[in-house]
Amino acid sequence: NAGVTQTPKFQVLKTGQSMTLQCAQDMNHNSMYWYRQDPGMGLRLIYYSASEGTTDKGEVPNGYNVSRLNKREFSLRLESAAPSQTSVYFCASSDGGRDTQYFGPGTRLTVL
Amino acid sequence: GENVEQHPSTLSVQEGDSAVIKCTYSDSASNYFPWYKQELGKRPQLIIDIRSNVGEKKDQRIAVTLNKTAKHFSLHITETQPEDSAVYFCAARTEAAGNKLTFGGGTRVLVKP
């Protein structure tokens, strides 16, 4: 099993550009999450999907949209990137939201 | 919503000594408290967790204690080794809040040989 995978690993954008971060899991988990990690700020939840077909805002949703494409895939979209969105983005999944969250390898995004 | 505070932000210990990291949480309904270890450039990985019906849990050199009355929980690492050097995050989860995890700000642990 690959676990949780994310693409791309690195990305540089210019202010105003858009992009989609991809996440997939092969553990048949119901719940999936997107976090951003900034120095000294820990991990902050952007959006999550408790189950296929549902999405909810987390702590810092502004400037982002998500799509739960199917049970395996959960994408994060930046419609108009801003320098404040420079961060490392982690996707995670868990079984029904009751157990351990497993993290992907992360995407390091720089917005110039 | 839930707020989790973690202390200290950095911790330097001599190899073989113990390390203790403390977290406090605000929501008395929180019932699940995992600890994650993140090595430089890597993803966070669960190292131990505790649920609200348990006061202490141990796994080899790692232990976690929970004080529900005071709303704080701690990670204890004994006989530290250089490979314990990493950033450690605590988190709390409240079922009523959709089972979301709220993370502390992290503790950078450096074990000096």
| Partners of A75 in beta bridges | A67
Smallest Cβ distance to B99: which of A90, A97, A105? A97
Which residue of chain A is at minimal alpha-carbon distance from B93? A98
Smallest Cβ distance to B100: which of A40, A45, A104? A45
Q: Which residue has the higher pLDDT, B86 or A98?
A: B86
CB pair distance less than 8 Å for A44 and B104: no
Which residue of chain B is at minimal alpha-carbon distance from A105? B43
Q: pLDDT at residue B12 above 80?
A: yes
Which residue of chain A is at minimal alpha-carbon distance from B7? A40
Taking alpha carbons only, the member of B42, B40, B58 closest to residue B50 is: B58
Which residue of chain B is at minimal alpha-carbon distance from A58? B100
At A12 the pLDDT is 97
Q: What is the pLDDT of residues B33-75, one digit of tens each?
A: 999 999 999 999 999 999 988 899 999 999 999 999 999 999 9
At A3 the pLDDT is 94
At A43 the pLDDT is 94
At A97 the pLDDT is 58
CA torsion, ordered A30, A2, B86, B3, to nearest 10 deg: -10
Residue B10 DSSP symbol: E
Residue ranges for chain A with pLDDT beneath 70? 96-98
Task: Using DSSP, state whether B104 is helix, strand or coil.
Answer: coil
At A98 the pLDDT is 65
At B25 the pLDDT is 96
Q: Which residues of chain A does B98 touch, with a Cβ-Cβ cutoff of 8 Å? A: 48, 50, 56, 97
Convert chain A into a string of H (helix), E (strand) and C (coil): CCCEEEECCEEEECCCCCEEEEEEECCCCCEEEEEEEECCCEEEEEEEECCCCCCEECCCCCCEEEEECCCCEEEEEECCCCHHHCEEEEEEEECCCCCCCEECCCEEEEEC
CB pairs under 8 A between A and B: 50
Distance from CA of B99 to the nearest CA of A (A): 6
Q: Could you tell me the CA-to-CA distances from B11 to A83, B48, B59, B90, B108 in Å, in that order?
A: 31, 19, 21, 15, 6
User: What are A27's two structure tokens?
Assistant: 């553990």
Smallest Cβ distance to A42: which of B34, B49, B103? B103
CB pair distance less than 8 Å for B103 and A105: no
At B1 the pLDDT is 80
Q: Which residues of chain A does B42 touch, with a Cβ-Cβ cutoff of 8 Å? A: 105
Q: Could you tell me the CA-to-CA distances from B32 to A27, A98, B68, B76, B103 in Å, in that order?
A: 21, 9, 11, 17, 12
At B97 the pLDDT is 67
